[in-house]
Structure 1
Amino acid sequence: MAKKVGLVYFTYLVLSIVFLNVSSLTLPYMVTSKPRHTKYSLSTPAPGSGSLVTPDNLPATANSGISLYRVKSNGATCILLKTDGLIEITYKSAIDEEKGDTYMPDYPIIDGNCQEDDASMRLSWNGYSLYWEFAKTPGGERWYISKLELTVSKDLEPYRHLKTFEKTFKLVHKQMLFPTPVSNSFSCDESVIDLESPDEDFLQQDLRGKIFLRAFQLQPFMYKGTNFGPPFACNAQLGFRDETAPIAVGSTLAIAVLLTVGGYGVFRYFKVKKVQYNTME
């Protein structure tokens, strides 16, 4: 009887340790850093040459430089973005390092597509096109930016020394950004997103870009209102847990524990049986 109680206690102790280790597991993920120097002007940037899809794309605050972009589906708001954004592109030419930049204007051309588990938005103005792609985590509990793609016209003055036969060039960010609970908006005072060229021909020219986002707030997959949901601050991302890796690690540990406990039980069984047999002799 004492041996059975000891085996039960041992099993409980091992399972408790495994549970505590798995439940406390937190994996690192990408967190965008803040710019070390300001890239913004106190004056409102000049509007682009495009036109709005919706009439309510107005600056959030007069003369603040903050713009509001909205995508609607069947009359309901499905994507909402607010920011004072600046795009900076650099590359090396035969002369020197070249640089071009542009503000995200108040009045770009807006195009978008909203589905249940994926959505997209495109902002276009004056030779620039910024494409946002959104998705949900496997459990559907969080949304995130799955891809950012910037397309730029080669005809623009800052890029006249860029060596390419194409009329446009692209810069992308393909990694997960800003995982946020569904029905919440992502909010951050300042964020920086790095862009790189997917074309190997531009490696020698060191073509790269950055998107500076001030007073940034974003929410896809809305449908239940015209305003942002509760903000999920960028510093709250430190508590985000990956949904797949803990399950895999936990399953592996559970199997290891079962094998250990099972092996121990078999060992104890034969040992007790042998002792009883020797006693009977």
Structure 2
Amino acid sequence: MQRDEDLSTILSNVAADARPTTRTKIANSPETRAFLEIGLHLLRDDLLDHRGPDMLDEHDAGTRLFAGLSQARLIERADRIAAGEDRPTMLTVGMFRDRWRYKSRYTEDLIAYLMRPSLTERTMNELREAALNLPAGLPFPQLARYLADAVMSATMRDPLWSLQTIVWVALPNHPRVQRYLKARYEQWIAAWASTYEQLAARYDLRLRPGVTWLDVAEMFNAVADGARVRGMAMGAVASLSSGDSVVVGAIRAMMPTLFLNAENLADPGS
């Protein structure tokens, strides 16, 4: 941040009740800037540089990302859920303490539970089954549109997928997060490579020399990842002037570089 930048135009809450001239002076004071810089350092310590808690330290609550997950809040939410169920699971603080001595151990287990491979496998299986059950004579452009829409919808609307994204973005150096993210990514790419190979056989698509199905999956996934980030921030996946989503447009643009006979895949009548 530039030292001559007017922070009073950026900080809307600092000295909010002061007179305009006083507020501007306080906002641009060295002390205000120091508080903000220290805050950034703490965020880096708690999130970007977090390597996991000390499992033997009773006072280490784990990453600050989970600071709001107190035992009291967990039990209160459990009671609210139980009130609407015929056969609820009753939870108590004692039961929690029987399972996790320290909160840090609970949050580490929570990360593992959120990142467990079965969630990715379930999503992938549903998408794979839907794709492979599409009519055999479906023109490729229609298949591409369906598949792109299905993948974007399944991931962008899944709160667990969003939570996973928040965790791995917030804790990029956490060993367990790194391990689970790597496993999830490899699982996702390998499954898509196999799916694309089976779908391509319908259209007699032939890979160019030196290109593998993993390459195809990596490239298509890179496009989908970028579109997903934009879509989650803006509320919708970007569309091109043709009416196709940016995912479909990018995939169709890449096809000639990946396949020898991609020119045979145009829309009927186009």
Q: Under TM normalisation by the shorter chain, which class is it?
A: under 0.3
* TM-score, with structure 2 as normaliser: 0.22
Structure number with higher helix proportion: 2
More strand by share: 1
- Structure number with greater Rg is 1
For normalisation by structure 1, the TM-score amounts to 0.21
